[in-house]
């Protein structure tokens, strides 16, 4: 490191270097602010314009996040339940995340986030076209639905293939499940957090065979 010859203190940056650094720092700070400002919706058109300028940089450096931890509300969990047909005719049932199976905790959490991601994709999929949409919007709606169905299918196929590969199963059926949070009064009344009644299948995701993957 350079020192000032008179004071023996660290030499500062030249004005040119400081101005250049200032410009880069200002751009970076606007960029990292624009990411959560513009996502998730609702977001202003202005925030989208600003974030749009920086999007390639934000994506390339993995800074493109909304940081809405546990917002707007901490909700119920979404799990993936599966049934695997084994070659000997047995049916293996399971669910992930599974705190008894997935260890260490960080790996458990990865499974948890994956099941929540699948739920998030399906949340974008509507079974019917909303009534009253003008033709051009209806067409765009259909394109979006196809896009998210394709994404869901890719996610599910990967999960199905992995589970079949791990268990040696022949066929697998995947279900999306919700695990409701009990009310405080119910817990006070003795209801455990993992009571069977709190789990409910909300959608069958698909059936896959070993070769499908």
Q: What distance in Å separates the CA atoms of residue 138 and residue 115, rounded to the nearest whole number? A: 29
Choose which of 81, 82, 111, 208 interacts with another protein (CB under 8 A): 111
Q: What distance in Å separates the CA atoms of residue 111 and residue 105, rounded to the nearest whole number? A: 10
Choose which of 128, 131, 166, 211 interacts with another protein (CB under 8 A): 166
Torsion of CA 161, 164, 169, 175, to 10 degrees: -80
Residue 90 CB, shortest distance to another protein, in Å, is: 21
- Residues 120-139, interacting with another protein (CB under 8 A): none
- Residues 39-98, interacting with another protein (CB under 8 A): 55-56, 59-63, 65-77, 79, 97
Q: What distance in Å separates the CA atoms of residue 152 and residue 157, rounded to the nearest whole number? A: 8
Residue 150 or 204 having the CB closest to another protein: 150
Residue 59 or 202 having the CB closest to another protein: 59
When asked if residue 171 is in the footprint of another protein (CB under 8 A), the reply is: no
In this chain, which stretch among 84-92, 107-115, 127-135, 169-177 interacts with another protein, using CB under 8 A?
A: 107-115
Structure-token pair, residue 3: 């020192």
When asked if residue 23 is in the footprint of another protein (CB under 8 A), the reply is: no
How many residues bind another protein, per CB under 8 A?
80
Q: Which long-range contacts (CB under 8 A, 24 or more apart) does 90-98 make?
A: 92/167, 92/169, 94/163, 95/177
Q: Is there a cis peptide before residue 162, judged by omega within 30 degrees of 0?
A: no
When asked if residue 175 is in the footprint of another protein (CB under 8 A), the reply is: no
């Amino acid at each position: 490191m350079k020192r000032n010859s008179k004071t023996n203190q660290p030499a500062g940056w030249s004005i040119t270097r400081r101005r250049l650094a200032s410009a880069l720092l200002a751009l970076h700070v606007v960029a990292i602010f624009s990411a959560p400002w513009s996502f998730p919706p609702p977001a202003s058109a202005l925030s989208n314009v600003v974030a749009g300028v920086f999007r390639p940089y934000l994506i390339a450096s993995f800074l493109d996040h909304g940081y809405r931890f546990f917002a707007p509300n901490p909700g119920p969990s979404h799990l993936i339940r599966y049934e695997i047909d084994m070659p000997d005719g047995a049916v293996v049932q399971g669910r992930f995340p599974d705190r008894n199976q997935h260890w260490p905790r960080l790996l458990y959490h990865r499974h948890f986030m994956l099941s929540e991601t699948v739920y998030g994709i399906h949340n974008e999929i509507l079974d019917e076209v909303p009534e009253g949409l003008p033709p051009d919007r209806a067409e765009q709606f259909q394109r979006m639905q196809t896009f998210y169905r394709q994404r869901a299918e890719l996610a599910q196929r990967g999960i199905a293939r992995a589970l079949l590969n791990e268990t040696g199963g022949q066929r697998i059926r995947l279900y999306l499940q919700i695990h409701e949070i009990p009310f405080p009064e119910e817990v006070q009344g003795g209801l455990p957090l993992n009571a069977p009644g709190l789990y409910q299948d909300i959608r069958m995701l698909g059936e896959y065979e070993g070769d499908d993957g």
